[in-house]
Amino acid sequence: MGKGIQSVRGFSDVLPAESPLWQRAETVIRDTLESYAYREIRLPVVERTELFKRSIGEVTDIVEKEMYTFEDRNGDSLTLRPEGTAGCVRAGVEHGFLNRGEPRLWYMGPMFRHERPQRGRLRQFHQVGAEAFGVAAPELDVEMIAMTARMLGRLGLADDVRLEINSLGTPEARAVHRERLVAYLREHIDSLDDDSRRRLETNPLRIFDSKDAGVQAVMEGAPRLLDALDEESAAHFATVRNLLDRLGIEYTVNPALVRGLDYYTRTVFEWITDRLGAQGTVCAGGRFDGLVGQLGGRPTPAIGFALGLERLVALLAERAGSGEFDGAPHAYMVVGADPGEALRLAEALRDRLPGLRLEVHPGSAGFKGQLKRADRSGAAVALILGEEEVAAGRVAVKSLRGEGGQRAVARDDLPEVLAALLVETRRAD
């Protein structure tokens, strides 16, 4: 056999056995976003390269080495979006809706970064993100954190994640802190790795993000931005902490939390898990009060977050174990001499029971083979519609799980029997 064509490294399939967990995550997240009055925006996957350079920052991992950038046939430099905030702000400025009310938006979809693929790190990955514009008050920061807490809680992950917060202050406060930080780092230059030495000149705050153990040790003693906040940012952060306490949301303040994108100001937060190895950040966000102005809009405060679906689904899969909803049909219809009659009955059942997952054997074949297929489908019951049953106005309902057994059910009673089955399996789902 010839060798088949393989998928591209870092671009993975979500197979049918995995998609039910994705769907559950997406449904819970969507419902939660809507319960906080966020509305969906659908954005293109490709944007002008300039957009990401200007928003994420030239001296960030993403822009320096992770973007999928290409020239299209017109010679324009385009990039597969590495994240959603830049495109969301671009759309808001372009269509002029950022200052109409205080828009609350969410999006979901694939993002692209050329990173080293490993567990929880892909080149095409998926984010759900939300952005709220026009409100500077710290109450919004806390409501957004509460919303992410609710999503994780509804998915049964409350015990798997912890919240870390920090404040990055204003760009002015950061500039003052930067000088002190650089002075400190120059004293410890021998303990810095190449990456950090380079960053020292370009973006020293980012060194807090280093994964190098030696660098991390140096950073323990570094001057902290949190101690150098401007007065307003300090007050803002104090209110955030206070309100989180009042809502009973637990957190730790991590002064080294700096995030990998340059546009953040004031509050930043991450939901972190210890269950996925090094790729521990499931959800991350913060304020970006300067970004709209930076991208040509009227200065507008904003806050957002992005949640990585691969990591979330990995957590759900760990929790799920066996007995988890797997998308199998509830019923499999075994067809006799009149396949048209089976299709007709199946349509009528779907009319009556919109939640029913029903698979009809396509065409006719021997009963034995069909029952084997029914069993393999994972269905709970087989609905057998042989010649005898058609003549008598009945359907044989054969249990495919547990005890087994088969009984004849009058056609009129079939919806009720299947409805009971739906209730039962829903409990198991």
Interface residue list for ligand ATP (CB under 6 A): 83, 113, 115, 120-122, 125, 127, 260, 279, 281-284, 306, 308, 310-311
Asked if residue 58 lies in contact with residue 49, where contact means CB atoms within 8 angstroms, the answer is no
Q: Closer CB to ligand ATP, residue 128 or residue 244?
A: 128
Least separation, in Å, of the C-beta of 112 and ligand ATP? 9
Select the residue whose beta carbon is closest to ligand ATP and give its number: 308
d(CA 302, CA 292): 8
How many other CB atoms are there within 10 angstroms of residue 322's CB atom?
Answer: 5
> Are the beta carbons of 274 and 283 closer than 8 angstroms?
no
Taking the least distance from each CB to ligand ATP, the nearer of 273 and 370 is: 273
Which residue, 29 or 282, has its beta carbon nearer to ligand ATP?
282
CB 63, min distance to ligand ATP, A: 12
- Smallest gap from Cβ 278 to ligand ATP, in A, equals 8
Q: What's the min distance (Å) between Cβ of 64 and ligand ATP?
A: 13
Cα of first residue to Cα of last residue in the chain, in angstroms, is 40
Of the pair 116, 246, the CB lying nearest ligand ATP is at 116
Residue 120 region by backbone torsions, left for phi larger than 0, else alpha for psi between -120 and 50, else beta? left
Complex with ligand ATP: residue 204 or 336, whichever CB lies closer: 204
CB 306, min distance to ligand ATP, A:
4
Whether 355 and 420 have beta carbons less than 8 Å apart is answered as no
Question: 28's torsion region: left (phi>0), alpha (psi -120 to 50) or beta?
Answer: alpha
Closer residue to ligand ATP, CB minimum distance, 113 or 174: 113
Q: How far is the CB of 120 from ligand ATP (least distance, A)?
A: 6
252 vs 406, beta carbon nearer ligand ATP = 252
**Secondary structure class of 9 (helix, strand, coil):** coil
Going from the C-alpha of 399 to that of each of 32, 379, 381, 389, the distances in angstroms are 37, 9, 4, 17
Q: How far is the CB of 114 from ligand ATP (least distance, A)?
A: 9
Tokens representing 8 are 């591209």
C-beta separation of 272 from 254 below 8 A: no
Show the CA angle centred on residue 378, arms to residues 323 and 410, nearest 5°. Answer: 115
Within the chain, what is the greatest distance between any pair of CA atoms?
Answer: 92
